[in-house]
Chains A and B, each alone.
Chain A
Amino acid sequence: MTIRTDALPTQEMTINMGPQHPSTHGVLRVILTTDGEVVTRAVPDMGYLHRGLEKIGERVTYAQYMPFTDRLDYLAAMNCNCAWAWTVEKLAKIEVPARAEYLRVIVCELNRISSHLIAFGSYTADMGAFTPFLYAIRERERVNDLFEMLCGNRLTYNYARVGGVSGDAPPGFLEKTKEFLDYFEPKLDEYNNLISYNKIFVHRLANVAVIPAEEAVAYGLTGPNLRGSGVPFDLRKDEPYSVYPKFDFKVCVGTGERGTLGDCFDRYMVRINEMRESVKIVRQAVAQIPDGPVRAKVPRLFKPPVGEAYFRSECPRGETGIYLISDGTVNPLRLKIRTGSFVTMNIFEKVTRGLMIADVVAVIGSFDIILPEIDR
């Protein structure tokens, strides 16, 4: 569409979006410069939730840091818990009992489902359809129930430990998990029938904010945002950690089915399909889980050897990489957390140029950002 500028000249406007805004998924602020409805520049302004998690990491011990990782990405707290545990274990070369690894994979994938559910629900709500949000929360509550059974909390689980997990699954947990999976899997088709292929919804997403594959790699996108551009890169497959190699699952990539490869719709669809894969993984893990202890012996005040480790794992919002430096004392010397959302925001200004204001909301939702990951 060409916009005539000669007939009726307009002035550029600066519009402030956020930090209190229902569609920015938290306290993101975007400074939009617009020409009428067309965005000429959208500069993200972050830090409204900067809580200094990295500094805190230098002031507490390795075990004490676990609860803070919950707050790093509260929609996927299990994944962050485990990422921290895996990093410290990599640094200190700790062997983890097999049952603990299986439990971790189960909770990580369940959490991926519940996180993608929020992504799905809030995205559709942003696009003007509130009902799917209620459906998504309905399912998410059941995952919360499972986690509550496991560790007593609904949102901030603090379940993993350096060397294992905090406790074995209570009796009935695995059965309940299976029940949930049986209940949940058909629901995905329901979502697709309900909204995914809805004409208006598709029109809002297809061909919006296309990110070509090379650009996605150069800008360091990871997770569903990278796979939405058609790059089949998944750390669970390509840099396997934990017991992921034992499971059979597919890496979902965007296909450009309704528009161009790498548009908002592809990123959305990758998440929907990934939930199905997560269901597969959990099914296999529940079937194969061995008996045994769930925690290796690690002293309370544990001092890893001097060294540096970078461990990355596949979180729902992309790769969470933790760069950990130990100087041999009880506190880390430095701890840097590289998160998917933070890196994704880097490309935001580039992809929003020339879009309509309403599309900016579509872009934010399709990236599935979460603010504590950006601001830490």
Chain B
Amino acid sequence: MGESGSGKSVSSMAVMGLHTSRSARISGSIRLDGQELVGAKQDDVRRLRGQKMAMIFQDPLSAMHPFYTVGNQIIEAYRIHNQVSKKAARAHAIDMLDRVGIPEPRSRIDAYPHQFSGGMRQRAMIAMALSCDPSLLIADEPTTALDVTVQAQILDLIRDLQQEFDSAVVIITHDLGVVAELADDIVVMYAGRGIEQGSAEAIFNAPEHPYTWGLLGSMPRFDRPPTERLLPIKGTPPSLIRVPSGCAFNPRCEFSDRVRGDACTTERPELLPAGSGTGAHVGHGAACHLPTAERQQVWAQEISPRLA
């Protein structure tokens, strides 16, 4: 999770290998099931796309081709990676539409995307993404464009299908509620970097990064009595063309003066182990110059009471 422009989509597109070498330079390492994707042959990555890793996008209307039927688009996705007859693929597509909860899939399969409602389109996108039974599903803001009741349907669907298909899901969102509903592990991004990561419990109940604290204070809590005032983070997110030196959060950080010297403005903090390490799969980590003990103390004594 992270704010707009923090690099969530760019990261997930990199995993899918959807950046062209002309528009982006990618370094580092992406491993899918042990296989290195950075620097791998384009065609090899292409073969993985849709089959081993699949993606659904924010706006289900523009993400489907307006000129082809929903069925055709699902069938196409299936037949790229599976040598089956058109008929078998069609039966599979109907089955998939049925599984994502489209009523009367047999007749709806020949509908065009514009004949579906927003929620149904997103269901169809999910059917398409899951048609090859991928082990990784990336959902980039899958419910941002949907109404809250439809959002709840889609989140339920993703959770149910995740269990049914036993796939890993990466969900990208700026809605802390959605994160809490679905995520086991969370990475908080700021200005193109992960600044805190950990289990959902750790991020919500014992966060250690000042930016995470800020996020939690900025949003009205639906599950608590209404507070008098929200506690916004001052300033605005930085431009990624000129990222502040040192810790990218320093111009907006309330706590930088508690760090000795000028480390906050000169030295970029690394994502280091933090907290009690109660992560399910990833250990809790934060990128901040404040010592862990002090962060925990600030959270417990200053931030947490403010949020309650």
Q: Do A and B come from one complex?
A: no
Which residues of B approach A to under 8 Å, CB–CB?
Answer: none
Q: Which A residues fall within an 8 A CB radius of B? A: none
